Amino acid sequence: MVPCMRVVLLRYTSEPEEAVVAAARMCYSSEDLNGLLCSVEGIDHRKFLEKILSLGHFSILEHASFTFGIEGISRAASHQLVRHRLASYAQKSQRYVKENRLFDYIIPPSIAGQPSLRQAFERLMGEVFQLYSRYLSEGIPAEDARYVLPNASETKMIVTMNARELHHFFRLRCCYRAQWEIRQLAGLMLGEVKKVAPILFHKAGPPCLSQSCPEGKMSCGRQNEVRKQFRDEESEEDVPEIR
């Protein structure tokens, strides 16, 4: 009844880094399209992209998009996810998909780790399902019976974002101050895109990877730990102290 979160990169722009480099070259080149594409092949993508992005030319990232299949997250997490407006979403409908057995649900770790609280949580989920099933059996439409289903209900989604929006998403949701479930989701999504576009997402993550924490008094105070987590390819000596 308690599913594991799963993220699969279903589709993405072919050669995403080359597409972004071509878009950037188009802005600064007088070559025709054929000449432009030929010149892109001989460019050091990492060096070129780092230079362009350091100038703040982030619109070029919009030319690479990524589509994810997501399952094992709660409705509470999906409500946070869809607040990121520059994206496309498809979600399992509680109106058209009836729960014919006890629905899958997510238990927060703070509850799951305490046996008595977990037992109470699971008991409530069972009671909710019984009421939901009763409504359906008495002819209540699923679109109305779903009103008793909780935020803990598991949902499935397909999400598409471009690279620019993903950077923004990772900046907010990989932060330790983000809610635990969407932070876990963001981490899995970041891991997927790094496999196919490591240059584009080399510096993706919370803002404290490249600057002092912008949260001020609300900071988690764990910036050095965060840097080590996201830059595991670097030695500890390479990770500067934040003062």
Q: 18-52 pLDDT, tens per residue?
A: 899 888 877 766 666 666 666 666 677 888 888 88
Cα torsion 66, 72, 74, 78 to 10°: value is 10
Active site residue 227: no
pLDDT band at 55 (very low <50, low <70, confident <90, very high): confident
AA letter at 209: L
**Could you give the number of structural domains in the chain?**
2
Domain with 188, as residue range(s), is 6-89+155-205
Tell me if 177 sits within 8 A of 220, measured CB to CB.
Answer: yes
Q: How far is CA 77 from the centre of its chain?
A: 10
For residues 112 and 187, membership in a common domain is answered with: no
For residues 134 and 68, membership in a common domain is answered with: no
For residues 22 and 69, membership in a common domain is answered with: yes
pLDDT in tens, 102-140: 999 999 999 999 999 999 999 999 999 999 999 999 999
Among 147-156, 157-166, 203-212, the least confident range: 203-212
**What is the rounded distance in angstroms from the CA atom of residue 155 to the CA atom of residue 161?**
19
Greater model confidence, 96 or 203: 96
For residues 74 and 176, membership in a common domain is answered with: yes
User: Which residues make Cβ contacts (< 8 Å) with residue 202, sequence separation at least 6?
Assistant: 46, 194
For residues 48 and 72, membership in a common domain is answered with: yes
pLDDT band at 233 (very low <50, low <70, confident <90, very high): very low
Say what the pLDDT of residue 40 is.
Answer: 67
**What is the residue-averaged pLDDT of the chain?**
88
Q: Does residue 217 lie within any of the structural domains?
A: no
Query: Of 133, 152, 171, which residue constitutes the final position of a domain?
Result: 152
Q: Does residue 109 lie within any of the structural domains?
A: yes
**Options 173, 177, 222, 243, the catalytic residue:** 173
CATH code, domain carrying 180 = 3.30.1360.170
For residues 159 and 83, membership in a common domain is answered with: yes
Tell me if 182 sits within 8 A of 81, measured CB to CB.
Answer: yes
Among 13-27, 98-112, 142-156, the least confident range: 13-27
Say what the pLDDT of residue 36 is.
Answer: 61
Q: Is 115 exposed, middle or buried (0-12, 13-18, 19+ CB in 10 A)?
A: exposed
DSSP state of 241: P
Among 79-88, 112-121, 179-188, 226-235, the least confident range: 226-235
Q: Does residue 215 lie within any of the structural domains?
A: no
Say what the pLDDT of residue 28 is.
Answer: 66
154-162 and 65-74 beta bridge pairing: antiparallel
Which H helix or E strand runs over 155? Answer: strand 154-162
Among 1-15, 60-74, 159-173, 203-217, the least confident range: 203-217
Q: Does residue 22 lie within any of the structural domains?
A: yes
DSSP state of 62: G
Cβ atoms within 10 A of the Cβ of 6, count? 12
Q: Does residue 28 lie within any of the structural domains?
A: yes
Greater model confidence, 220 or 167: 167
pTM of the model: 0.88
Q: Does residue 243 lie within any of the structural domains?
A: no
Sheet with strand 65-74: strands edge to edge = 6-12, 65-74, 154-162, 87-91
For residues 85 and 159, membership in a common domain is answered with: yes
Percent of the chain with pLDDT over 70: 88
- Give alpha helix (H) positions in the chain: 16-28, 33-41, 45-54, 75-81, 109-112, 115-137, 142-145, 163-173, 180-196, 223-230
Q: Does residue 69 lie within any of the structural domains?
A: yes
